[in-house]
Amino acid sequence: DAKTTQPNSMESNEEEPVHLPCNHSTISGTDYIHWYRQLPSQGPEYVIHGLTSNVNNRMASLAIAEDRKSSTLILHRATLRDAAVYYCILRKTNAGKSTFGDGTTLTVKP
Amino acid sequence: NAGVTQTPKFQVLKTGQSMTLQCAQDMNHEYMSWYRQDPGMGLRLIHYSVGAGITDQGEVPNGYNVSRSTTEDFPLRLLSAAPSQTSVYFCASSYGGTRQPQHFGDGTRLSIL
């Protein structure tokens, strides 16, 4: 299965933009890139997904490299409530089997 | 709209006991999955199902059984609990297809003594 690689941790200041990177060098042509986040003591929640083009929604933006081997989740103005573990996963053709890595723990400083 | 409901929220077992973690969804999702999350770690896939009557193993299936007799329910059975199975268990569901996001329950916190 294609794996993703993320930094273990990142820090940001409140109200500043945050760029969370993810490498997925073995991505296949039909794999969608999904991002989730997990707040303390909660289950993961969906953030955004994309295939080739950059995507925006109310929570974040997703920038996908032209060769699709990496992507970046962008939080435009970090708030204290954005402190969480962020997971980048590949949703494959056999989409029933999605595997998560250890994610990036984002700390937001006031 | 209840979404994904997991019961119980907390459970303490003794080594060797068996139990079933319940997961139900009311969104008519084809796909359902069970994950475990150990302290400070990411989620690891235990078993998953792409429809009623169809299940398959994930990354860490040993010691767990599943069945999917209905679209709504996907119970996870611990056959003989071991301390190594102390973890938080999450159930997730989604529509089929690579675009579809997964919806997660609030988790079951399980301790094996």
Q: Residues of B with CB below 8 A from A93's CB?
A: 98
Residues of A in contact with B104 (CB under 8 A): 43-45
Average pLDDT over residues B61-77: 97
Mean pLDDT of chain A: 91
Instruction: Give the tens place of pLDDT for each residue, A79-92.
Output: 999 999 999 999 87
Whole-angstrom CA distances from B55 to A96, A104, B27 are: 10, 30, 19
Task: Identify the pLDDT of residue A63.
Answer: 97
Residues of B in contact with A85 (CB under 8 A): 42
Is B42 close to A100, i.e. CB distance below 8 A? yes
pLDDT in tens, B28-66: 999 999 999 998 889 999 999 999 999 999 999 999 999
Cβ-defined contact of B104 to A43 (cutoff 8 Å)? yes
Alpha-carbon dihedral angle through residues B93, B96, B97, B102, given to the nearest 10 degrees: -10
**pLDDT score at A74:** 97
Residue A97 and residue B98: Cβ atoms within 8 Å? no
Q: How many CB atoms lie within 10 A of CB A81?
A: 8
Is A100 close to B101, i.e. CB distance below 8 A? no
For position A3, what pLDDT does the model report? 83
